[in-house]
Structure 1
């Protein structure tokens, strides 16, 4: 089973080279300004990809999924859209969720603490592959500051992942955190396609299970 992971393409999906695989996973910020027109183009692009299955979640830039949910979800015809929901493919159980801690005034933002913890409490205990837009605290979540870096991931998500122990946790959101980290039997993947300067230069991350 080959998973191909991308994230934070910001409507620049046609500028990236996507390798073949069994499941193409996009972990949010698929759009630029978050319009339905952008989403329709993304869905047409999904249709062109050879992967038998595609999975999409929203991110904080993907406004149409928050503001026009029925219209947006109806446009996703060539991928499985997950929003606090599950999917089983090829014997693997996936869960997808778009929420991230409040940062200015973006889509799918919730306050740290009980609001976010309630979302993570919905994740089934038998989840094999968790897909969220944002990272857990302390894992591939550092952003540069004038004096160093700052970890901005979600503490409650980190606690949930520790408890649930999925095989893979795939996310994006923090472009500078692109890469992989292995902790025990669990692998974390920040699949951000765009760099910190919003250039779609980071290659898709391929995982063979």
Structure 2
């Protein structure tokens, strides 16, 4: 027996056998001889992530609404009776964007039990739009305080303020989704986060029609592959009825962006009279940037609007899709449009938030 740690010498005959064995192994791997099976290559496959159901509670245009107010009409912004995973607020949490009203609205939003709370500004959050607020005589200090409130202070309460751009979130269940957010709406009167209707901020310049001006930036462009488009205002002719002789208050550039990226969900508010939900699908070849940008050639096919039983929805704390629509959304291939404005066309808080489930 040799001592531990001592190098053993091998005999010439042993060396010859070892070299011959190595040669056979090498030749077998390079070119198997007749009757020999080639060595199997070991491959590692990654199992696709299994999608998880995610329940979204979608809210918009609460305008300082508090369910503790004496007015009986102000009772629709209540916590839902069913657990939710994500709360989305599409802007106009307040009436004038004051620090006090922002703080109160954020606390109200945070009180809804959910893993994730996301919010964007609307045209009534005037203190958050620096350019507009200062042009109206507002102070830089108040703007800075408002921004601090919706970012740092809100985050401490579990509410995430989304600036314009694309954001990705992963829930504890493993579900992951990408959401595009924007507070901007077409110019109407004097208010925050507004742009001329001829300005296209949502699309690449190659898809902007000749009559419009492309002002898109990397953050304002709606990117391919997003699951959710969350804006304050609606796309053109989609739940955007203003009641003014059939005129739509939505944005045609946003509509073109939705046709281009085809998200699972497009949620918004702003136009109170357009409250509701509606599924759409796209004909093959549509939304690829062809045509002149008009809504008649974008290939979007609109299905009937969802029926809403307002009294039942207010009792539950949410409105929801019909069973048939829920099944259609699970099968995929469609985009759900949701106008979640809690305030109705007469300025009363009679509309319930929307509950939507997506596989993500």
TM-score (norm 2): 0.55
Q: Per-residue displacement from partner, 1:86-142 (whole Å, max 9, x unpaired)?
A: 232331111111000001111000112235342685222111011000000010011
Conserved 8 A contact 1:28-1:57: yes
TM-score (norm 1): 0.92
Residue 113 (str. 1) matches residue 198 (str. 2): yes
Residue 167 (str. 1) matches residue 252 (str. 2): no
2:246 counterpart SS class: strand
Conserved 8 A contact 1:59-1:107: yes
Residue 9 (str. 1) matches residue 62 (str. 2): yes
In structure 1, the partner of 2:317 is none
**Aligned positions of 1:91-110 closer than 5 A:** 91-110=176-195
Count, aligned residues: 207
2:201 counterpart SS class: helix
In structure 2, the partner of 1:176 is 273
With over 3 angstroms needed to count, the CA separation of the structure-2 counterparts of 1:203 and 1:8, relative to structure 1, is same
Q: After alignment, is 113-122 or 46-55 more displaced? A: 113-122
Q: Per-residue displacement from partner, 1:62-93 (whole Å, max 9, x unpaired)?
A: 11221315334333222111121223233111
2:242 counterpart SS class: strand
CA distance in structure 2 between the partners assigned to 1:151 and 1:44 by the alignment: 33
Higher RCO (C-alpha 8 Å, min separation 6): 1
1:46: how far off? 2.6
With over 3 angstroms needed to count, the CA separation of the structure-2 counterparts of 1:179 and 1:36, relative to structure 1, is same
1:18: how far off? 2.7
Residue 37 (str. 1) matches residue 138 (str. 2): no
CA distance in structure 2 between the partners assigned to 1:109 and 1:201 by the alignment: 27
1:143: how far off? 1.0
Alignment gaps of 5+ in structure 2? 1-53, 68-74, 131-142, 203-215, 282-333
Alignment gaps of 5+ in structure 1? none
**Aligned positions of 1:52-91 closer than 5 A:** 52-67=115-130, 68=143, 70-72=147-149, 73-77=151-155, 78-85=158-165, 86-89=167-170, 90-91=175-176
CA distance in structure 1 between the partners assigned to 2:191 and 2:254 by the alignment: 19
CA distance in structure 2 between the partners assigned to 1:54 and 1:199 by the alignment: 24
CA distance in structure 1 between the partners assigned to 2:177 and 2:62 by the alignment: 25
Q: After alignment, is 63-72 or 123-132 more displaced? A: 63-72
CA distance in structure 1 between the partners assigned to 2:66 and 2:357 by the alignment: 22
In structure 2, the partner of 1:189 is 338
With over 3 angstroms needed to count, the CA separation of the structure-2 counterparts of 1:61 and 1:121, relative to structure 1, is closer
1:48: how far off? 1.9
Hey, which of these two has a bigger chunk of strand by percent? 1
Larger of the two Rg values belongs to structure: 2
Aligned CA RMSD, in angstroms, stands at: 1.7
Conserved 8 A contact 1:137-1:158: yes
Of 122, 125, 150, 2:221 maps to 122
